[in-house]
Chains A and B, each alone.
Chain A
Amino acid sequence: MTTSSTTSDPSVSAEADPHAGTLGKLAGRFGDGVFTTSRFRDNLRLHVSPARLFELLSSLRDDCGFAFLAELGGTDFLGYPGWSRARFQVHYVLRDLERNERLTVLAGVDEPRPALPSATPLWEGANWMEREVYDMYGIEFRGHPDLRRILMPEEFAAFPLRKDYPLRGRGERHNFTRLTRGES
């Protein structure tokens, strides 16, 4: 999840927080209770519920200047030691290219039928990334214009990056016709 390359920087203090402006704007817009924050080194993460995710993302894009969706991906925390939140987590790495600010929005979704609002109305680039998350984890993105598998074949029915997918499964590899020397 850590996307920053810098190590702990003594200049990052409460006074010189690069995210202070963003957090101030968000606090004015949303108040308390919509998202929580956590930090790792100089990374800021916003944890938000799926119900308010789209609202937060559009506010970040329109009001706070995060015009670029750098990364969108998923994580499966099934069986993760000490994990008490939702099983799946989808992360949106946003960048403000003018002020060189980066933050991560995290949204947890749980079974059955994990679903999130699609970010394609905000960033066109989310299209294929959401398709990949759907392909690998089975998280639906409501409002996506073309939610199909992007990597696996169309007829594939499972989600291979889920932690309960069998590592040594072999059944999925045998759905081809078998050409023999006599036939071909």
Chain B
Amino acid sequence: MALTPTSGPTSASDSNAAPARPSTSSSIATFSPSDPPVPENTILTSLDAVVNWCRKNSLWPMPFATACCGIELMAVGASRFDIARFGAEVMRFSPRQCDLMIVAGRVAMKMMPVLQRIWLQMPEPKWCISMGACASTGGVFDTYAVVQGFDRFMPVDVYIPGCPPRPEQILRAVMDLQTKIQRGGSLNGTALPEMLDHEQLAASARALTARVSVAERGREERFGYRLPGGPGLVGVDETR
């Protein structure tokens, strides 16, 4: 078992070798020669690191497959590529039992509220992978009916490019997500610190540029929706 916690006060020690690592400068976990010896097969680490380690190796994906990306996703689950090597083979079709949303394929406008509802039904902690060009950007479907990247309305942890992506890319994304889970998060939630910062930044940018875009975009009604908050206040940062 190899734990490499990267955050929090940690220390690793053994009975006869491997003194405390030089990075452990915190005052919480220091050892003096007068301490009783740590028995064999014992590892000292932080609780967050252990919890993250458990979580990252037991992802339960919720396959939200709407298009050809779903076929590649099935291939990843099958024996040739075998996502079970990364502990993420337990696909469940109830959001209540999942903690990894994989959006594979284009998301139509009518599907977006459904997707959001499924996301809200998933218990914490949860993560999200945007798989393929359509889910990430709308892809070639630049039409009135397709959401141009569902990350505008939901948090996304890892994006996978490709149309559709190769199965290896999905495995790569799972590995990246595992790194991310190990690095961030805490016992009580998923909130990665940099993601919260990014969302706050995006919210402030939206508030700043709202007035500018009214003149840029002109009449909103010609696009079809009567916007409840008045023109120019919704989705302004996407028009740039």
A residues near B (Cβ < 8 Å) are 151-153, 155-158, 160, 165-166, 168-182, 184
Contacts and interface: CB of A to CB of B under 8 A. Distances in A.
B155 A184 contact: yes
A153 B112 CA distance: 11
Given A157-B226, A181-B196, 14 more contacts: A153-B110, A158-B223, A160-B143, A166-B223, A170-B239, A171-B235, A173-B147, A174-B238, A175-B234, A179-B119, A179-B153, A179-B155, A181-B199, A182-B196
B152 to A, nearest CB: 7
B153 A176 contact: yes
Contacts of A157: 221, 224-226
Interface in B116-165: 116, 119-120, 142-148, 152-155
B226 A173 contact: no
**Secondary structure of the A contact surface, majority rule:** loop
B110 A179 contact: no
B109 A155 contact: no
B153 A177 contact: yes
A179 B221 contact: no
Contacts of B192: 181
Nearest to B224: A158
B222 interface: yes
Interface of B: 109-110, 112-113, 116, 119-120, 142-148, 152-155, 190-192, 195-196, 199, 203, 217, 220-228, 234-235, 238-239
B189 to A, nearest CB: 9
**5 closest Cβ pairs, A-B complex:** A174-B235, A158-B224, A171-B223, A172-B224, A169-B223
A157 B224 CA distance: 5
7 contacts: A151-B145, A157-B221, A157-B225, A173-B238, A179-B155, A181-B199, A182-B196
A156 B152 CA distance: 20
A153 B148 contact: no
Contacts of B142: 168
B199 A173 contact: no
B226 A179 contact: no
A170 B196 contact: no
B34 to A, nearest CB: 45
A172 B191 contact: no
B214 to A, nearest CB: 12
A172 B231 CA distance: 11
Contacts of B195: 181
Contact of B155 (A155, A156, A180): A180
A155 B153 CA distance: 18
A153, A175, A179 pick with most chain B CB within 10 angstroms: A175
Given A156-B225, A168-B142, A181-B190, A173 B109 contact: yes
Contacts of B239: 170
A181 B145 CA distance: 26
Given A155-B225, A165-B144, A171-B217, A179 B120 contact: yes
Given A165-B144, A175-B234, A178-B153, A155 B226 contact: yes
Contacts of B146: 173
B31 to A, nearest CB: 37
Nearest to A181: B155
Nearest to B156: A181
Given A174-B235, A175-B227, A169 B222 contact: yes
A171 B220 contact: yes
Max count, chain B CB within 10 A of own CB: residue among A153, A158, A168, A176:
A176
B32 to A, nearest CB: 42
A126 B190 CA distance: 52
A180 to B, nearest CB: 5
A177 B112 CA distance: 10
A141 B109 CA distance: 26
Given A179-B116, A179-B155, A174 B222 contact: no
B116 A177 contact: yes
